Structure 1
């Protein structure tokens, strides 16, 4: 009994359940409520410290529904921390998208079968689709070497509605009669539709403008469904003021006029000088232009200055042998305007890009003692390619028909090589430069 008395349980360790049962009902109720409150408090504290967002108390706030991001209060969006929390997402009112002009895809039109152009003097053409110009100018102003008249004419040739097609008697190309445009800078009402093989006419026009010669007529490339199976074809401006008779000169008469320097400084030549009405500077511009493109039809119609090939059109019976009588060879395609006999108009500019540097026609430069300063400055500046690319890019149909940038670069490569040959020839033969913007 002593051992049990020594180690008996003290009265202060009576089980709590026994003490709780001995308390009256009000005390038991208060005790139960206090225990529940303490349990809920420590449970919430434990959840708070277990949450990964408790360290960002400066930006987040614990709420009964989870953690509220204070930076998103304006958007009224709560991010819950527990998966079993139910919350409401406010959806903004869905607005109907605005119908912006130009963004709606047009309906596809059914293609209309077109018939070939019959052989008649005049044929009406009904265009079911509205004309769209392929001339693209993304800047406020066009390149400085193109005038407002050039740009307006190009747009008219590329996109004006065609009213009818005429076949002038004896003309190799059909004449397109356009609907009158309201562009003040454009007066083009007709155009000649050339063959697709004459696409070099487009390149020649831009080369003429880049060099500052301004002697060719505006020309663009256009797809005509009723001609050439819709292939891109050059369309050149038709002017009624062109003198079809042209300038009649033999080779010896031409060389003699070069020595006389006809009409320079507005000096009237003597009657015995043999001068024509053409200004002396016109021959220099013509020679430079024809050499770069190797156009031999005007100054060397019988191909006496190079070894002709089959595609050069000089191998007709007996023609090439006429070079032995070269002084009697008559020049061709010398066109002027009736009201402006002093200046030439360069038409039929069919050049050749496949003629090698070792077979160039130097007869085109014979007798030339001076060249236009504006053109040589472009050739010497090293910016010929840049300007030609910028200019040719305007004609989207021609640009794409040549294979885009790679195809255009190949054509410019040929012109740049010939330009180097020309500059070397001019330095070696003492050919000077003159300001010919008279």
Structure 2
């Protein structure tokens, strides 16, 4: 073989390697079968080792990247507020805000605003007055749920309260004294820094004034200085502590409240409904737990207003009117459009529009103790006061029946003040008291517009959520929804009544 043949041979081998068919022929021709199988096995083992090394190199990278994504997702989720409000009553904001850093470098929670609505609601249960709070299993107390505040409750209990350090040193002052003349004092535990009137946004709901919020905070959070029984035996007068610079009698300065039974809790709901409808005739009312009676249950506390005119002991009214006289007043439309009534009309100082506001308010809550004290317009239960007092039997001469709880203020004789607003949520739609609406052919535009706007539920949720103790005592949002269901159905019935009777809807902002 010449020297020139060697490069050509190498060239031929290289070209054969690039051609699969030639390689195969070369392999089969020149290699024995056993050696060929051995080389194939070695190549497979080498290739398999290569795959295993590549997989082991890739897996740690994917694992680390997955952990990084998860940690970032969790961090973003922690900074993103949850929309909506669950059934337990906790609130979360519908509006996002930029997170802010606190003094220690931690993220502060965004501002909480109001409540979102659910699409479906369960059917409400029949409720008497309001949802009763769960009773704790404790020893029986002189004042159980729904009872009055008897005089004997406070007598002889001062020593028992004094033996409980940190609670109360004196339970009662002079029993039976007139409101404002309080003797004795009570010392309670320091009030918590967090108010029971919770406002998490920059401003309160538009239907509540600044004075309303101040009164609500005073009733809910102020330290109790003394208490006194009232002649009605259904409530007590609570005097709250004042600042050192305050002068004058506590009740005259607006630092007193009327605490009633847990059964009267619907008065808190009535106050918020009154403000939402734009009537502004009810006194501020909140829920508060009492440590010195009612076994710590939530009770309604209503602001004591010293400007209310003295009332008659029998009718609890500052104006004496019978049902027949009331119907005549509605026909005369006293003081409407600046019209001065004639003497023979028998008008009072109360403006005609006040009766329309009261009738609408009482119908939605089915308050019968003002316009239908004898329960002549519906079938009462045995628990109703008219049945307990035997007044249901006195419906034959309805024109002679006195109206009750018709109250004015001394400095404002034209307008009414709604007191004792105990409503009933357990009255079925086929047993509503339409006698309350008799003679009313005009209704306030502000209230009717809220009923027609279909935003009544949203506003009631936002407003009632401010009162923490009331919200919790009614079972959170689930219990509040049941109450609102009842009012919504009655509002639809009222709107149908207005359309069917051709009643006018007028602005009543005089």
Q: Does 1:206 align with 2:268?
A: no
CA distance in 2 between partners of 1:341 and 1:348 (Å): 19
Report the counterpart of residue 328 of structure 1 in structure 2.
400
Post-superposition CA distance 1:128-163 (Å, at most 9, x none): 222552000011111000000001100111001111
Match of 1:234 among 294, 300, 309: 300
Post-superposition CA distance 1:289-317 (Å, at most 9, x none): 00000000000000000111112222246
Q: Does 1:410 align with 2:463?
A: no
Report the counterpart of residue 127 of structure 1 in structure 2.
188
Report the counterpart of residue 80 of structure 2 in structure 1.
none
Deviation, 1:99, is 11
Report the counterpart of residue 416 of structure 2 in structure 1.
344
1:311 alignment partner, SS class: coil
Conserved 8 A contact 1:117-1:227:
no
**TM-score normalised according to structure 1 size:** 0.72
Report the counterpart of residue 148 of structure 1 in structure 2.
210
Deviation, 1:180, is 2.1
4+ long deviations beyond 4 Å: 97-100, 113-116, 168-171, 181-184
Deviation, 1:210, is 0.5
Give the aligned length.
338
**TM-score normalised according to structure 2 size:** 0.62
Report the counterpart of residue 237 of structure 2 in structure 1.
175
Distance change in 2, residues 1:111/1:316 (3 Å): closer
Alignment map for 1:85-164 (pairs within 5 Å) = 112=166, 114=168, 117-118=171-172, 120-121=174-175, 122-131=183-192, 132-164=194-226
Conserved 8 A contact 1:133-1:160:
no
2:397 alignment partner, SS class: helix
Conserved 8 A contact 1:165-1:175:
yes
Conserved 8 A contact 2:167-2:189:
no
Conserved 8 A contact 1:399-1:405:
yes
Conserved 8 A contact 1:292-1:419:
yes
Report the counterpart of residue 72 of structure 2 in structure 1.
none
Gaps of 5+ in 1: 1-50, 56-96, 103-109
Conserved 8 A contact 1:262-1:275:
yes
Deviation, 1:171, is 6.0
CA distance in 2 between partners of 1:111 and 1:389 (Å): 39
Match of 2:356 among 278, 284, 290: 284
2:395 alignment partner, SS class: helix
Deviation, 1:397, is 0.4
Deviation, 1:268, is 1.5
Match of 2:504 among 415, 426, 432: 432
Conserved 8 A contact 1:173-1:193:
yes
Match of 1:301 among 373, 392, 407: 373
Report the counterpart of residue 92 of structure 1 in structure 2.
none
Q: Does 1:222 align with 2:288?
A: yes
1:306 alignment partner, SS class: coil
CA distance in 1 between partners of 2:283 and 2:305 (Å): 9
CA distance in 2 between partners of 1:406 and 1:182 (Å): 43
Which structure has more relative contact order (CA 8 Å, sep 6+)? It is: 2
Distance change in 2, residues 1:328/1:129 (3 Å): same
Deviation, 1:203, is 0.2
Conserved 8 A contact 2:169-2:187:
no
1:278 alignment partner, SS class: coil
Q: Does 1:254 align with 2:326?
A: yes
CA distance in 1 between partners of 2:277 and 2:224 (Å): 32
CA distance in 1 between partners of 2:453 and 2:351 (Å): 28
CA distance in 2 between partners of 1:260 and 1:326 (Å): 20
